[in-house]
Amino acid sequence: MRGGNMNKMMKQMQKMQKDMMKAQSELEEMAFEATAGGGMVKVVANGKKEITDVEIKEEVVDPDDIEMLQDLILAATNEVLKEVDEKTNDVMGKFTKGLNLPGGMF
């Protein structure tokens, strides 16, 4: 009886691993976006935390205030990376719920 339970458990673990890999792949293909300055700066990232696009509205470009533009880009970039982390934790956390993994591991 124990051998049957072990085989069943191994099959469940293999299925969970396959499902996790599929979910991770789907996350990597997702696009996330965040804005700053009321939409004046938009940053887009994929699920691999790669910045894929930065859009800056013409109105925000003021050569006398480049620091504001830099701050807006940083704010939008940090926000979009936070969104990637939150979605990753949400999706991958479904697989690790109840496993009592150390903090930060999904």
CATH number assigned to the domain comprising residue 81: 3.30.1310.10
φ/ψ bin of 33: left (φ > 0), alpha (ψ from -120 to 50), beta (otherwise): beta
Q: Does a structural domain hold residue 101?
A: no
Would you give per-residue pLDDT tens digits along the chain (106 residues)?
A: 466 788 888 888 898 889 999 999 999 999 999 999 999 999 999 999 999 999 999 888 777 888 888 999 999 999 999 999 999 999 888 877 766 656 555 5
Alpha-carbon torsion 61, 64, 65, 67, what sign? positive
Number of domains in the chain: 1
| Structural domain containing residue 69 | 2-96
Per the CB < 8 A criterion, the answer to whether 19 and 95 are in contact is yes
> For the whole prediction, is pTM greater than 0.85?
no
Q: Does a structural domain hold residue 51?
A: yes
Q: Does a structural domain hold residue 104?
A: no
Neighbour count for residue 28 (Cβ, 10 Å):
14
Q: Does a structural domain hold residue 102?
A: no
Containing 44, the helix (H) or strand (E) segment is strand 41-46
Q: Does a structural domain hold residue 44?
A: yes
Tokens of 41: 């700066």
